[in-house]
Structure formats: structure tokens, C-alpha cells
């Protein structure tokens, strides 16, 4: 997959004026500092005085990159032969749909699904009409709905990794990184109510456990 391991151009885009670049950098730096403190609940809170849409945008890029990298570690085990359908166990099967080739939901293999998903997210991040990079350009009225769609779909990659490939993750010694990334993701989702509870059902028990840990 050509996109794996690549960061979105949004935070570092050369099209941004210096003031806009600085704004994005400071928000990302703040997020990294709070993450470094070990307090993930603090890390997801909107910084005082900051714009909610800017905060959502910066974190969307970050989670996209994290999930891209995590999935990249198990791609050789996620093949059309091993994963002929994108799923999170027998009860949860995901069919791909978009505004291009797949106008109706289609049953595709997990790697094909994830390839389309990541390419779709990247196209949203690169769309100036959705994620404006210039000072003075407002986020569109549809921005929140796009964010909800992105997070809902990114969750499905976490769900597939946990349910289908967790033994591989453990064998690679990546489980601590996966758990921390997913815990951060879920706390962010809960903080801003980005995914409906029914969508989280495949990992409900794990989510309850992680949220209980976060309270301690």
C-alpha cells in the first residue's frame, strides 16, 4: 500500500503561511507534551482558548498516521487469502462504499478495504474545502460530519487488528503501543462524541476495561 507510513501533508504543508504553520505546530506540540505526561484524559481535552475544529483537525491527522503505521506492521499477515472480508469477528462485517467505484456497499478483502479507507481519509485531509490550510478560511459546515465518518472508519481498522490479528501484534511485541494508541483514540472519541456506541460494539469489553484504567 503506497500510503503506509506516510504522514499527511496537512500539518507541514508548504502552502500554509508561517502563522498557520506555527498554530498547527503549537497544537501538535501541546498534544505531544500532554501525552508525554502519561495522562491520556488530559491529552484529549480541548486546550483553553483554542478552536475546536482546529483541535479536531490536528488530532485527526495524528490518529490517521498512528493507525496507518500500526496496520503497516501486520500487512504481511492481512492478505486477501487470510482475510477475504473486512471484519471484526463473525458478527461484524464491513463492506466498502464511496462516491467513486463503489457506489453500493461491496464485500471486499480486508487489505483492499483498508487500502480504500486510508486513501479516502487522505483525500479528505488533502481537500482544502474540508481541511483549509490558509489563515482566515473557515472550516465548512459539514466538517463535523466528515470527522465523524473518518473516526468511525478508522475504528474499524483498530477492531480488525484486535479481533483478527492480535496474536500477531503480540508476537511482534507491539501490543503496548497498540493499546496506548487505541486508549488515546477512544478517550478522544468519548470526549467529543465522535462515534455512536453501536459502532463500538465489536470492542465494547476492551473499551470498558481501558476507560476503567483511565479513571485510576
- As for how many domains the chain has, the answer is 1
Specify if 147 maps to a domain: yes
pTM: 0.82
The dihedrals phi and psi of 129, each to the nearest 5 degrees, come to: -75, -20
pLDDT of residue 4: 34
For residue 163, how many other CB atoms are within 10 A of its CB? Answer: 17
Question: What CATH number should be reported for the domain holding residue 153?
Answer: 1.20.140.30
Specify if 7 maps to a domain: no
Specify if 178 maps to a domain: yes
Rounded-to-integer distance, Cα 106 and Cα 104, Å: 6
Residue recorded with cell 462515534:
195
For residue 148, how many other CB atoms are within 10 A of its CB? Answer: 17
Rounded-to-integer distance, Cα 149 and Cα 158, Å: 15
Specify if 39 maps to a domain: yes
pLDDT of residue 38: 56
**Tens-binned pLDDT, residue by residue, of the chain (216 aa):** 333 333 333 333 333 333 444 444 444 554 454 444 456 788 899 988 889 999 999 999 999 999 999 999 999 999 999 999 999 999 999 999 988 888 899 999 999 999 999 999 999 999 999 999 887 789 999 999 999 999 999 999 999 999 999 999 999 999 998 999 999 999 999 999 999 999 999 999 999 998 887 765
Contact at 8 Å (CB) between 86 and 96?
yes
Contact at 8 Å (CB) between 132 and 54?
no
Specify if 9 maps to a domain: no
Contact at 8 Å (CB) between 102 and 130?
no
Specify if 103 maps to a domain: yes
Annotated binding site, which residues? 78, 83, 160, 165
Annotated binding site for Zn(2+), which residues? 78, 83, 160, 165
Specify if 6 maps to a domain: no
Contact at 8 Å (CB) between 122 and 5?
no
Amino acid at each position: 500500500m503506497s500510503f503506509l507510513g506516510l504522514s499527511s501533508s496537512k500539518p507541514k504543508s508548504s502552502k500554509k503561511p508561517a502563522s498557520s504553520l506555527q498554530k498547527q505546530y503549537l497544537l501538535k506540540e501541546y498534544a505531544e507534551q500532554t501525552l508525554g505526561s502519561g495522562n491520556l484524559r488530559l491529552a484529549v481535552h480541548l486546550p483553553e482558548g483554542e478552536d475546536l475544529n482546529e483541535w479536531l483537525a490536528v488530532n485527526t491527522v495524528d490518529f490517521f498516521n498512528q493507525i496507518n503505521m500500526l496496520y503497516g506492521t501486520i500487512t504481511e499477515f492481512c492478505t486477501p487469502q487470510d482475510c477475504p472480508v473486512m471484519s471484526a469477528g463473525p458478527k461484524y462485517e464491513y463492506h466498502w462504499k464511496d462516491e467513486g467505484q463503489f457506489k453500493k456497499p461491496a464485500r471486499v478483502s480486508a487489505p483492499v478495504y483498508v487500502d480504500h479507507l486510508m486513501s479516502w481519509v487522505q483525500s479528505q485531509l488533502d481537500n482544502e474545502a474540508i481541511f483549509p490550510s490558509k489563515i482566515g478560511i473557515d472550516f465548512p459546515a459539514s466538517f463535523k460530519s466528515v470527522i465523524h465518518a473518518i473516526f468511525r472508519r478508522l475504528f474499524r481498522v483498530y477492531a480488525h487488528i484486535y479481533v483478527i490479528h492480535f496474536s500477531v501484534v503480540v508476537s511482534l511485541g507491539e501490543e503496548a503501543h497498540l493499546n496506548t494508541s487505541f486508549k488515546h483514540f477512544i478517550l478522544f472519541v468519548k470526549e467529543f462524541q465522535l462515534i455512536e456506541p453501536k459502532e463500538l460494539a465489536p470492542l465494547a469489553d476492551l473499551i470498558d476495561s481501558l476507560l476503567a484504567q483511565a479513571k485510576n
